[in-house]
Amino acid sequence: MADSGVYIKNRPATFEYAIEDRLKVGIVLTGSEIKSVRNSKVSFNDSYCFFSKGEMWIKSLHIAEYVNAGYATHDPVRERKLLLQKKELRKWESKVKEKGLTVVPLSMYIDENGLAKLEIGLGKGKKLHDKRESTKTREVDREIKRYLK
């Protein structure tokens, strides 16, 4: 998937949310931001996507400042615009309004053309018993892999 080897995953997202649908979208970045992404300096802590004026934005995605940026540095937690087709945008916006789902960033990577891409998911929050079940299945999978070695 990621030709350049940059693949940053939001691990808590799949634990906190039951992901129903996934979509790969582009993201608008400045020059110093893309250099930080290529150095894997991205953190997904408490980041989420929201709709505003017919567009989708991501909030609280932390992209660290690039060390050699000089005066052309960026705000690490600014809101960034996501690039997706209008058809997909309308479809996801209606699902979020109807069913009470949340749009969560799942991963960020650099594609074969050198562009930053973000994988987002349409998720529903898990309850405590669902989280326990996820932990249990993960531990069982580890035991099976350990036994097979």
Q: Flag whether pLDDT at 4 surpasses 70.
A: no
Residue 6's pLDDT is 86
pTM metric for this prediction: 0.80
Residue range 24-45, pLDDT digits in tens: 999 999 888 998 899 888 999 8
Give the whole-angstrom CA distance, residue 70 versus residue 48: 29
Options 3.20.20.70, 3.40.640.10, 2.40.280.10, 1.20.1250.20; CATH for 7-148 is 2.40.280.10
Residue range 82-121, pLDDT digits in tens: 999 999 999 999 989 888 788 999 999 999 988 999 999 9
User: What b/e string do you get for 28-48 counting C-beta neighbours within 10 Å, with b at 16 or more?
Assistant: ebbebbbbbbeeebbebeebb
Kindly give the pairing relationship between strand 116-125 and strand 102-110: antiparallel
Contact indicator for 111, 2 with CB cutoff of 8 Å: yes
